[in-house]
Amino acid sequence: MGLFDYEFMRNAFAAATIVAIVAGAIGYFLVLRGETFAGHALSHVGFSGATGAVLLGISPLVGLVAFTIAAALGISLVGEKAHRDVAIGLVLTVSLGLGLLFLHFYTAYAGMATNLLFGNVLGISQQTVWVLLGMAVVTLAGLAFISRPLLFASLQPELAEARGIATGRLSALFMVIVALATAQAIQIVGVLLVFALMVAPAATALRLTHRVATGVALAIGFAVGIAWISLLLAYFTDWPTSFWITALGGLAYALSRLPAWLSSRRTTA
């Protein structure tokens, strides 16, 4: 039988493609704004939301999305009064504590916890693919709506404020968009490895070009390519897909730094 004769592989490729496109686009702005720690924190918040949802007898995805959006708004609001890293750290630690508490009360779902932590793209249903597609449309539409002022505020924050752009509100909207993207990425790579799909392709693209449109396109291309190759390698080696995504993401970024490293070596030689 061929690779795409299996329904789980068709679903996996469809879901990975959808999520990779979103992760590449959102990740570019996340890295550009220096807010990758926020994305990392939101992924851990999603773990608490999913486990809490199971306790209430509802879909883990519902809790995951609700918690990440609430945390994104919390980070934005608290971060206006305190140092942003402090706000993110507080949200991260509280969410991890809640996640452990929820697991303590519902230990029967240890398998679900493993999938949330490390991802299980090969177990995604066709219904989940459609849900991810709907979320992707909303997420990308939101990013397109705020992309111009967001880029301006990211590169020239003081000038953007002087021009009357509400940077605080813009930051909150972007954090909500990041929350939605994080919730989708967790379905593929899990809570602990969201960085691999959202940050590595975007960071690689930023190393290769300073043009925004080209950078976003490259980030999306790298993310999709990494997702596809990882699924193929997982199919033929029986190694976890998430491992291949993290390995290829790290390799791509390392290769993007290679020319600069070789140039510095020649200069010092």
Cβ pair 84, 93 in contact under 8 A? no
Q: Mean pLDDT in the chain? A: 82
More confident site: 44 or 119: 44
CA distance 258 to 221: 20
Domain boundaries 3-195, corresponding CATH code: 1.10.3470.10
Q: Is the pLDDT of residue 81 over 50?
A: no
pLDDT tens digit sequence for 99-134: 777 766 765 555 555 666 666 777 788 888 998 899
- Spatial contact of 1 and 146, defined as CB atoms under 8 Å apart: no
Q: What is the pLDDT of residues 130-177, one digit of tens each?
A: 988 999 999 999 999 999 999 988 888 788 878 888 777 888 899 889
If one compares 90 and 26, the residue with the highest pLDDT of the two is 26
Q: What percent of the chain has pLDDT over 90?
A: 27
Cβ-contact 201, 27 below 8 angstroms: yes
Query: Rounded to 10 degrees, what is the CA torsion of 251, 252, 253, 255?
Result: 80
Rounded-to-integer distance, Cα 41 and Cα 45, Å: 6
Residue 214: its pLDDT value, please? 95
Cβ-based neighbours of 203, under 8 Å, separated by 6 or more: 31, 253, 256
Whole-number pLDDT of residue 182: 85
State residue 119's pLDDT score. 66
Mean pLDDT of 42-66: 78
Higher-confidence residue of 213 and 51: namely 213
Domain extents for the chain?
A: 3-195
For residue 262, the model assigns a pLDDT of 66
Is the pLDDT at 46 greater than 70? The verdict is yes
What pLDDT score does 14 carry? 92
Tokens of 103: 């697991």
The pLDDT of residue 269 is above 90: no
**What contacts 81, CB < 8 A, 6 or more positions away?**
none
Name residue, tokens 């007898």. 57
**What are 96-105's contacts with CB under 8 Å, separation 24+?**
96/44, 96/47, 96/48, 98/48, 98/52, 99/44, 99/47, 99/48, 99/51, 102/48, 102/51, 102/52, 102/54, 102/55, 103/51, 105/55
Assign 24 a pLDDT band (cuts: 50, 70, 90): very high
Q: What is the pLDDT of residue 63?
A: 81
Q: Which of 64, 69, 128 is nearest to 99 (CA)?
A: 64
Q: What would the pLDDT profile of 176-233 be if each residue is shown by its tens digit? A: 898 888 888 877 777 667 778 888 999 999 999 989 999 999 999 999 999 999 999 9
Arithmetic mean of pLDDT, 236-256: 89
* H helix intervals, the chain: 7-32, 36-56, 60-79, 84-105, 110-118, 126-155, 157-162, 167-189, 194-198, 200-208, 212-237, 241-268
Confidence at residue 156, expressed as pLDDT on a 0 to 100 scale:
85
pLDDT at 255 over 80: yes
User: What pTM was estimated for this model as a whole?
Assistant: 0.85
pLDDT higher than threshold 90 for residue 71: no
